């Protein structure tokens, strides 16, 4: 792992992400669950189809299945077939059967005409035009054939994927077990919401952000609360977190302050790298390994904690969870509606609101208040405006990159 703690300059965010992803070995433990519990879970093995979908050639329309005859537009109806039924006799040219959408095509039939294009006179059915071969016929295996791999190990299941599994008759599925993540905050100034706010203290909010974000990702959270600045208490908290969790996320105490035992303790019990990353907010950040878990030390400032979680921890957790592909977050071009103030040096992740203007263009309004402590700016924002490290101020009307939140 590249540690630039003492190196001049800052670590580019891309390098930090590479280092983190390169150090992480995904969780391999597997559990079998019903498909109805499987949305957003990561598949542990490939899923192959054991059936054809559709299972039989069937009709795409309510109408008439027929055996094409080039002699006449009038056919003789010899029966009816509804969804779930099978017509046993084989049609000969000039014969048709009444058929409903989804019903199996009768043997010998080679086309279906929708009923709007037919007129009925007893068993004589006259079509408005000569039917085309295989018109309105859905073929067996057209969607999925036997032995097709329909979902791969490492895929995260979407709602429609669960439906796809159901359509193949699969009731249970092997997935990677949920991650277990321990979360804690350190700092004597921190007070739990609901308690009286003493002079010089602040309400603790980073845990609320991190735990809520983890809960949205099917992650089992071990909440270790606020740990006071006491070496023994901090040591015990980290040892417990390391024992019980796949990863530990703490916030605060990763910069250069003096009243901090976090660094000291972490250095005693693990191999942790304290980086200065070329990003704003979120310059100080710690990452490394304890004996049984990975450690992420987010900066204490609330916006810095949330943005580093979003940019650095989320991809790491994706990899740890067994996700096959960890893709960079999607970025879009948007026109800024005002000047973006920025000093060259660190990549900025500024808060703003993206909208579509009257001309149909994607535009973004950066907020005036961009301080690392202004959590309300992140609450109001629907995107991060990503400005490259080397860039200075950006003019109104320029095109910038945004990531939707």
Ligand X SMILES: Nc1nc2c(c(=O)[nH]1)N[C@H]1C(S)=C(S)[C@@H](COP(=O)(O)OP(=O)(O)OC[C@H]3O[C@@H](n4cnc5c(N)ncnc54)[C@H](O)[C@@H]3O)O[C@H]1N2
Selection from ligand MOO, ligand X, none that 189 binds (CB < 5 to 8 A by kind) is ligand X
Minimum distance, C-beta of residue 54 to ligand MOO, in the bound complex (Å) = 56
Binding mask 233-272 for ligand X (x = CB under 6 A): ------------------xxxxxxx---------------
Give the integer Cα–Cα distance in Å for 306 and 375: 9
Coil/strand/helix, residue 157: coil
CB 150 within 8 A of CB 144: yes
Scanning 79-87, 232-240, 262-270, 275-283 for contacts with ligand MOO by CB under 6 A, the matching segment is 275-283
Does 57 engage in binding with ligand X (CB under 6 A)?
no
Query: CA dist 398 to 176, 333, 336, 365, Å?
Result: 44, 10, 6, 12
CB atoms within 10 A of CB 333: 11
* Two tokens, residue 226: 């606020």
CB 185 within 8 A of CB 252: yes
Choice from 154, 282, 288, 366 touching ligand MOO (CB under 6 A):
282
Residue 276 or 319 having the CB closest to ligand X: 276
DSSP state letter for 347: E
Dihedral of CA 241/242/248/253: which sign?
positive
Selection from ligand X, ligand MOO, none that 352 binds (CB < 5 to 8 A by kind) is none
Does 301 engage in binding with ligand X (CB under 6 A)?
yes
Scanning 47-55, 295-303, 378-386, 393-401 for contacts with ligand X by CB under 6 A, the matching segment is 295-303
Choice from 154, 187, 281, 297 touching ligand MOO (CB under 6 A):
281
- Report DSSP letters for 72-85, one per residue: -SEEEEEEEE-TT-
Selection from ligand MOO, ligand X, none that 254 binds (CB < 5 to 8 A by kind) is ligand X
* Two tokens, residue 248: 């530990």
Minimum distance, C-beta of residue 375 to ligand X, in the bound complex (Å) = 8
**C-alpha closest to that of 404 among 369, 374, 341, 362:** 362
With residue 125 as reference, give the H or E element that holds it: strand 124-127
Does 302 engage in binding with ligand X (CB under 6 A)?
yes
Query: Which residues in this chain contact ligand MOO in the complex, by CB under 6 A?
Result: 280-283, 299, 301, 304, 372
Binding site for ligand X (CB under 6 A): 185, 187, 189-190, 202, 204-206, 251-257, 281, 283-284, 299-302, 304, 372
């Amino acid at each position: 792992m590249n540690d630039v703690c003492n190196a001049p300059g800052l670590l580019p965010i891309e390098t930090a992400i590479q280092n983190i992803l390169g150090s992480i070995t995904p969780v391999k433990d597997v559990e079998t669950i019903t498909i109805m519990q499987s949305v957003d879970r990561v598949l542990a093995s490939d899923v192959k189809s054991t059936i054809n979908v559709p299972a039989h050639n069937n009709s795409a329309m309510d109408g008439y299945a027929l055996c094409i005859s080039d002699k006449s537009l009038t056919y003789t109806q010899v029966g009816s077939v509804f969804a779930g039924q099978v017509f046993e006799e084989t049609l000969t040219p000039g014969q048709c059967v009444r058929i409903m959408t989804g019903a199996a095509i009768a043997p010998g039939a080679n086309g279906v005409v929708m009923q709007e294009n037919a007129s009925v006179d007893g068993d004589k059915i006259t079509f408005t035009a000569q039917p085309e071969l295989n018109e309105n016929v859905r073929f067996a295996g057209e969607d999925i054939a036997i032995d097709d791999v329909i979902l791969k190990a490492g895929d995260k299941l979407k709602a429609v994927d669960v439906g796809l599994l159901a359509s193949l008759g699969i009731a249970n599925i092997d997935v990677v077990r949920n991650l277990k993540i321990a979360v804690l905050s350190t700092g004597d100034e921190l007070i739990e919401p609901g308690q009286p706010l003493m002079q010089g203290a602040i309400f603790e909010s980073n845990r609320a952000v991190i735990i809520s974000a983890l809960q949205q990702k099917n992650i089992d959270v071990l909440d270790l609360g606020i740990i006071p600045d006491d070496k023994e208490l901090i040591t015990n908290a980290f040892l417990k977190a390391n024992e019980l969790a796949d990863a530990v996320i703490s916030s605060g105490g990763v910069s250069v302050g003096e009243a901090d035992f976090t660094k000291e303790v972490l250095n005693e019990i693990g191999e942790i790298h304290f980086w200065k990353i070329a990003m704003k907010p979120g310059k100080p950040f710690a990452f490394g390994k304890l004996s049984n878990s990975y450690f992420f030390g987010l900066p204490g400032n609330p916006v810095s904690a949330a943005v580093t979680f979003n940019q650095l921890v989320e991809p790491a957790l994706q990899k740890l969870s067994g996700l096959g592909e960890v893709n960079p977050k999607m970025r879009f071009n948007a026109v800024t509606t005002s000047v973006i103030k920025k000093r060259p040096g660190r990549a900025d992740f500024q808060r703003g609101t993206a909208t579509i203007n009257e001309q149909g263009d994607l535009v973004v309004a950066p907020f005036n208040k961009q301080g690392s402590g202004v959590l309300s700016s992140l609450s109001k924002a629907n995107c991060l405006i990503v400005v490259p490290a080397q860039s200075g101020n950006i003019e109104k009307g320029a095109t910038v990159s945004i990531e939707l939140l």
